[in-house]
Amino acid sequence: MSEMSERLLRGTSKPQGAPALLVLEDGAVFQGSACAASGEVFGEICFNTSLEGYLEVITDPSYAGQIITMTYPQIGNYGVNLEDAQSDSPALRGLVVRDLCTTPSNWRSTQSLPDYLREHNVVAVEGVDTRALVRHVRDNGAQRAVLSTVDTDAKSLLAKVRASESIVGANLAATVSCKSAYEFDSLPASHAFAVSSPAERRYKVVAYDCGAKRSILENLLRAGCSVVAVPWDTPAEEVLAMEPDGVFLSNGPGDPEAVEGTYLQVEKLLGKVPVFGICLGHQMICKAAGAQIEKLKFGHRGGNHPVMNLLTGRVEITAQNHGFGLLFPSLGELVPELSGGFKGHESDLRFWTNARIAPVVQNEKFGRIRLTHVNLNDGTAEGIALLDIPAFSVQYHPEASPGPTDAHYLFTAFTRLMDGRDDYLDIDIAADRLAGWTFGEQAATVAGASDREQDSMTEGGR
């Protein structure tokens, strides 16, 4: 090989990392190379199907206790901009990818993803056959795993992982919640090129921070809310003393059964103030109503999950990140006259999507509760609305960080709920999905100019 060829090879190739192993508790072993911090970490193995938004995924506090596998093969190619981060530091246990890009190219990038991961001491491995890994998790279910760059003995790691703690029963929300109340009043300057100025602030919202993503709180600001975030276990009496127009329950990690300090307070808040919950917040409302929560086989994580809005029949492509879900029948018995005459529950909620009915149950604590959204992939519950008190919730993430903007309307719905409107969910999601984005305004301007030009040509032809 010539000297020039060797220089080109050095300049376009990255050095091979130290050997690393991922071992699952069922004995499955996956080999790779270290590509960030070195170490040994334990967590629940999961996978995310998003094609972009890796920084938002990595910094989402809902991933506390988990080792994330990205299904898209190359991660890090557009680098890192810290204003896209969802928290000050990653809460995940480890990262598994096929290929980690070391030379990003993007005008907003300030550093490479490998450098960011090393800076925050995140153990990561590349070179793994992520297709095989994802198929294994999909077929065999989420389970404990160990990711190590320091011990490459499979038998040793298998013994360690089988002795490690499960996230089931662990209150991970407490580990990522804020320590004291604070006013959230920050919008990223670098997003101004794509996002319009926020609406005038007309609502005071208290947000339970169970691991809240910054972009969710930002969307509340943009919808016209002033936001005060409080710790996960703040007494309801303290929240009501702040005299909020509404209470928001945030996303968060882990087993909702273990977050008793939140759902017991939510039980006291329901009926006294409008409440909106997202993801773990949705589960907190369900737990407050006495519902049962199930652990999903491998969870929902990614930006391409289809959900039907039973009220409109529209399908939303949603961003999701959860490993637990509501068992809708546990909320109460069906009310036949409000459920198309049907009297019995269905285990697969896609029955209601086919029937085009939003069924209603009678709950012992809070009266009538309607199923509003259903996951079209597996027929699980994705949203509810309480009909006798002002409260609603969804299992997915509507703020699109990362993900599509189909569910943006839910922030508008929350403001309408605080206005006291019964039709707060009756929103044209096709129009609202562009609300707040400058490209939506630009498209409208271009369309308007085109219409005026066409009118002018028509007049001239006359």
Active site residues: 279, 397, 399
How many angstroms separate the CA atoms of 272 and 268, rounded?
8
State whether residue 344 is helix, strand or coil. coil
Q: Which of 442, 446, 436, 441 is nearest to 196 (CA)?
A: 436
Q: How long a stretch of residues is the chain?
A: 462
Determine contact, residues 194/439, Cβ cutoff 8 Å.
yes
Rounded CA-CA distance 203/223 in Å is 9
252 contacts 210 by C-beta, under 8 angstroms? yes
**In the Cβ-directed half-sphere of 286, how many Cα atoms lie within 13 Å?**
29
| Ligand-binding site membership of 417 (annotated) | no
Task: Report which of 222, 230, 224 is spatially closest to residue 247, judged by C-alpha positions.
Answer: 230
- Whether residue 48 is annotated as binding a ligand: the answer is no
| 252 labeled part of a ligand binding site | yes
Q: What angle do the packed helices 409-418 and 214-222 form, to 10 degrees?
A: 60
403 labelled ligand-binding:
no
Are the beta carbons of 38 and 137 closer than 8 angstroms?
Answer: no
Half-sphere CA count of 284, side-chain side, radius 13 A: 34
d(CA 180, CA 210): 12
Which amino acid, 136?
A: H
Find out whether 283 is annotated in a ligand binding site.
yes
- Distance between CA atoms of 53 and 145, rounded to whole angstroms? 24
Query: How is 216-260 classified by DSSP, letter by letter?
Result: HHHHHHHTTEEEEEEETT--HHHHHHT--SEEEE----S-GGG-H
Query: Is 310 annotated to bind ligand?
Result: no
Residue 280 annotated as part of some ligand binding site: yes
**321 belongs to an annotated ligand binding site:** yes
C-beta atoms surrounding 161 within 10 Å: 23
Alpha carbon of 165 to those of 42, 65, 146, 161, 396: distances in Å? 8, 10, 11, 8, 27
In the chain, the amino acid numbered 39 is: G
- Tell me the binding residues for L-glutamine: 62, 252, 254, 280, 283, 321, 323-324
- Tell me the binding residues: 62, 252, 254, 280, 283, 321, 323-324
